[in-house]
A and B are shown apart, each in its own frame.
Chain A
């Protein structure tokens, strides 16, 4: 029996510590991991819980992130609860096996502490790694602070292991800003958390020898398409399960989660859409803009996959001009997030103006002033009835202003 780890009603935890406490309370059986900044403390802490008897699991420190996810797959197919953490280059090295995990429908939990991708080498937060995983068939939740990193990590087990879902799930938090900044966190008691997460009920357990299973079969043009289509449908169909688990968690904790969060959007003419720590900054900027007479709002994507297209359309229905913020180098196109939002709004009746802001790469700050500037440009668009700038702009960048993609008016 594990030794009881005491948690107070209110703790001062950073995002990494919060995520590792969720792993402990969820009684994760096996963590297979390879350390990488800034996510390292999550798995180090799990290792120390094992070392001090706070958890009856095993920590396997392997020789690479590729092996870490490979081990997670082997362990998860063996019927127990599995989790790990990574960032950036480690995430990139894992990508091959991320697709294998989701294709095998294994409920692995991956805490991703977002960090830029090299070159140039950079340890700070942006969303390049998160975007790299966007087609990998995983559910992706975004936490904007340490409390959410904890809450979503607990809820992720419920979603992933649910028999109607059976999909691996990532919880993203911003490198350093969330992962290394100590904040107030209100954890559930060990007992309540354990009861909420429950015990895993494995399907196709490799260690159940009464029913042999074959994992990782080959399919060619005769069956591959059906498998991938079914997998896509499973991600889409996870929506009611996610909503139900969010609702159950609200009952338990008083904290409400939605796949798409919106702030001051009821009467908003202009808005900023984003995810991660920038959401809180944007909310402050929106409040200041409102004091200046601009009807500004903020929309945040909590559930990056499955992407909430329909809900987004509803939230943005009456908004005139929308700034989509992408914290990843777009590599010769619009930001990926912009494309999602533009696709959602293309099918709306209102067809608002949608622009793209690339910001914060490699951990570059985005200030309240930067965000207010974005709001002002959106107001100018709303007033003019067309996009008054280039469609894509880089924000808070050294040197002359960088912008791309003309409208048909320019």
Chain B
């Protein structure tokens, strides 16, 4: 059986991880939770690639490695390409019988941050999806170039201050809306795309399993709160994630075969976005009277997007 049942938290804590706890990610970083969930949700062998970014620089600093599985990092942009070419080589070698263990089950997974996924690596990602390779791409979306000191990416939401979209007397921070990467990847004809969040960890594990089971290129955008650049206490990571999903700043949903949209989580009490924004230093300036209209805009965008998602779910188109 390739896919394991979903472990409970106790099993998780005693699990023999293929992703070691020893790494140099910031305390409170959600990346390691997401990666560990992925690696815990299957018993298959894994070939993992990573784009340059926080995850990569924190888990493979010579002479150490946190990865007890096949792992490759080339550059900032090409994790989708390296792992998909590995998948093709696997196919060829399996056919020729030249693998060390020809029957070993294997899954191919690429990790990228939002900078490498939405921006610099987008061409490589798009190309690999167009070629329909059988792999899963997971974006660890912390909405900025955290590894290089918090510059804006095209995943940074409107109104956030970053080191290259600085809020001040003449600016409310980033001017542009976040790129809708999930729709873009669904439009590639991907059989499975989803947006998931580590606070709903069982749902996340199920989504990962679905992606790994589905043949073809699958894409998952995961919310990964960054205490360093979002400016909150490391102990509050999951609370921030709760606010993100319950304010619908990060709705959790999946799109199957490009059209079948399913909302995965409907908050019982939808929180006002102020609750989410107010918990983070990067939005602090928005609470000044002159930038109040930006909060209103963010709220109205959320409402519009939520209505759109629900209409799409109903319409199945």
Contacts and interface: CB of A to CB of B under 8 A. Distances in A.
Interface in A73-97: 73-75, 77-80, 82, 96-97
Interface string B82-94: 1111101111110
A75 B70 contact: no
14 contacts: A29-B89, A57-B92, A66-B78, A67-B81, A77-B86, A79-B93, A79-B99, A80-B92, A209-B69, A212-B69, A216-B73, A216-B74, A217-B73, A218-B57
A100 B89 contact: no
Given A214-B65, A218-B57, A223-B62, A72 B74 contact: no
A206 B72 contact: yes
A405 interface: no
Interface centre among A30, A60, A216, A223 (most CB of B within 10 A): A216
B201 interface: no
B100 A74 contact: no
B75 A96 contact: yes
Nearest to A30: B89
Given A73-B82, A75-B86, A219-B61, 14 more contacts: A29-B92, A58-B92, A63-B130, A70-B78, A71-B84, A71-B85, A78-B47, A78-B93, A79-B93, A79-B98, A80-B98, A207-B89, A207-B100, A208-B100
Contacts of B68: 212
Contacts of A213: 70-71
Interface string A182-220: 000000000000000001000001111110111111111
B254 interface: no
B131 A212 contact: no
Given A70-B74, A71-B81, A205-B100, A218 B89 contact: no
Interface string B258-301: 00000000000000000000000000000000000000000000
Interface residues of B, number: 47
Nearest to B44: A209
Given A208-B100, A217-B62, A218-B61, A74 B69 contact: no
A272 interface: no
B85 A60 contact: yes
Interface of A: 29-30, 32, 56-58, 60, 62-64, 66-67, 70-75, 77-80, 82, 96-97, 100, 199, 205-210, 212-220, 223, 227
A215 B72 contact: yes
B308 to A, nearest CB: 30
Interface in B21-48: 45, 47
A213 B89 CA distance: 16
Interface of B: 45, 47, 49, 56-57, 60-63, 65, 67-75, 77-78, 81-86, 88-93, 95-96, 98-101, 104, 106, 123-124, 126-127, 130-131
B84 to A, nearest CB: 7
A26 to B, nearest CB: 14
Contact of A67 (B89, B91, B98, B127): B127
Contact of A62 (B56, B60, B93, B131): B131
Contacts, number: 157
A97 B65 CA distance: 22
A409 to B, nearest CB: 50
Nearest to A76: B89
A81 to B, nearest CB: 9
B70 A212 contact: yes
B99 A62 contact: no
Contacts of A199: 98
A215 B73 contact: yes
A79 B89 contact: yes
B123 A63 contact: yes
A399 to B, nearest CB: 42
A100 B75 contact: yes
Contacts of A29: 89, 92-93, 96
B74 A100 contact: yes
A75 B88 contact: yes
B49 A60 contact: no
Contacts of B90: 78, 207
A74 B96 contact: no
A245 B67 CA distance: 38
Given A63-B130, A74-B82, A212 B71 contact: yes
Nearest to A216: B73
Given A64-B123, A100-B75, A75 B131 contact: no
A74 B60 contact: no
Given A96-B75, A205-B100, A212-B69, A56 B62 contact: no
Contacts of A66: 77-78, 124
Contacts of A206: 47, 70, 72, 86
Which A-B residue pairs are the 7 nearest by beta carbons? A74-B82, A63-B127, A71-B85, A216-B73, A70-B78, A74-B85, A78-B89
A258 to B, nearest CB: 34
Contacts of A205: 100
Interface centre among B47, B49, B65, B89 (most CB of A within 10 A): B89
